[in-house]
Amino acid sequence: MIHRRSVWEPWGGQLRQWVMGWEIASVAEKDAVKALWDQTYNGVLSMEYTPPNEAATVVRFVEDTFEWRLVTATSVAMTFTIEEVR
């Protein structure tokens, strides 16, 4: 899994974002992420996420960022971006 985070300015800068990516994931894992994507209406509803070594925060999917491609018959590569909600 690839996990990147944008720079966040605590004095009023941008909302934190995390780009989540898997070079190899099962189709079932992709389907689970897609189901969560659909349940939150592509980022309209929020959910809780716990970044590594931090407290839980409320986030939502960034619209139009869920992408995936077939790697083999049973695995995919996928990415999406989540964003902090204030």
Indicate the domain borders of the chain.
2-6+14-84
- Prediction pTM value: 0.80
Query: How many other CB atoms are found less than 10 A from the CB of residue 21?
Result: 15
Amino acid identity, position 23: E
State which amino acid sits at residue 53.
Answer: N
Distances (CA, A) of 33 to 2, 13, 30, 38: 15, 29, 5, 9
Q: Which of 12-16, 41-45, 53-57 has the lowest mean pLDDT?
A: 12-16
Supply the mean pLDDT for the chain: 88
Higher per-residue confidence, 39 vs 1: 39
Whether the per-residue pLDDT at 6 is higher than 80: the answer is: no
